[in-house]
Structure 1
Amino acid sequence: MTSAPLLRRLSLAAAGLVLMAIPGAFAEERPVITTTKATADEIREFCTNIADAARDQRYLLQKQELEALQKDVDERIQTLEKRRAEYQDWLERRNAFLKSAEAGLVEIYRKMKPDAAAGQLAEIDPEIASAIVMKLPPRQSSVILGEMPADKAALLTRIIAKAGDPNTSKDPS
């Protein structure tokens, strides 16, 4: 008789070991917690109802962002227009100065003796020298070119001859 209770205990112990070897054997089943008692149709209806408001809010945020970008672009355009006007004014003053300086420079060479003018024009940039020679009276220009070294006079003559040609390269030689 003592063997029956012992046998029962051993079988319970064996059953416990088997249950321990099976993962999740002692796990509790937990109930699903729901925070609302809404049905799927109610949830869908809620989402549909707020979709227009959410879309409107997105559009409003995008509109505000675009307005901020447009304001920034307008400010930059205004700054560029101001700088363009300043540059235009500077360019006009520079051109007026160059024109008066050029007229003064031509007048200086007009009053110089031809041999002195020839010596100085032979030493400066050929394009500048040819521009000055072009603005002098032809009789004075020919005397100055006659006083210059032949190679310098030829270079200035070549530049002057090519000045009217639209296909002339920027290289005077």
Structure 2
Amino acid sequence: MRNSIQRARSAAVAVSLAVALASASAGAFATEKADATPEAPAVTPSAETVAAQYCNNIADAAGDARFARQAAALAALERDIEDRLARLEAKRAEYQDWLDRREKFLKTAEEGLIAIYTQMKPDAASAQLSIMDEMTAAAILSKLPPRTASAILNEMDAAKAAQLTNIMAGLADRTTSQRKSG
């Protein structure tokens, strides 16, 4: 390592001596230009200057390339979002169709169920409604014609009939308050 540093110094000294000799000999031969201003020494561009020029020259191209990459990425994301939205809309339509069919079925089943309980004898209907879920039994009773509902409640155990009547009264209060607030 020391040898290479010493060689580099020796080479630098030799170059500077050669430059000094060349300028001295050029001064001896110059007769007419003695009064002229000395010429500026030749400037060699340093590595930093060359790198800066290179960066300045490609800055626009690099910016354009970066913009093109970003635009392509955004376009791909936009296509992905549109695809997801289309699939989501298809699922929403599928669920809406299913919900419509379910509502139609429930309405038909509800009407049919009410018709069945309307045609039943009060003692048979009261026996079935007594063992049924209280909310369901109260909902059925509330949709029956008043004469049929009263005959069924008359055939029930008094405690069960009172419980179903309280539930139906609560349903009526909720329905009334929802109509007033809505």
- TM-score norm. by structure 2 comes to 0.70
Q: Which runs of 4+ in 1 moved over 6 A?
A: none
2:54 paired residue number: 46
Tell me the number of residue pairs that the alignment of Structure 1 and Structure 2 aligns: 138
Question: Per-residue displacement from partner, 1:29-52 (whole Å, max 9, x unpaired)?
Answer: 276xxxxx7433333122112112
2:4 paired residue number: 28
Higher helix share: 2
Deviation at 1:109, TM superposition (A): 0.5
Distance of aligned partners of 1:95 and 1:56 in 2 relative to their CA distance in 1, 3 Å threshold: same
Output the CA distance in 2 between the equivalents of 1:129 and 1:107: 14
Unaligned runs of 5+ in 1: 1-23, 32-36, 168-173
Unaligned runs of 5+ in 2: 9-43, 176-182
1:101 paired residue number: 109
- TM-score norm. by structure 1 comes to 0.73
2:21 paired residue number: none
Deviation at 1:79, TM superposition (A): 0.3
Output the CA distance in 2 between the equivalents of 1:166 and 1:132: 16
Question: Per-residue displacement from partner, 1:55-91 (whole Å, max 9, x unpaired)?
Answer: 1111111111111111011000000100100110111
One-letter identity of the residue aligned with 2:126 = A
Output the CA distance in 1 between the equivalents of 2:112 and 2:174: 28
Output the CA distance in 1 between the equivalents of 2:172 and 2:129: 21
Output the CA distance in 2 between the equivalents of 1:76 and 1:93: 26
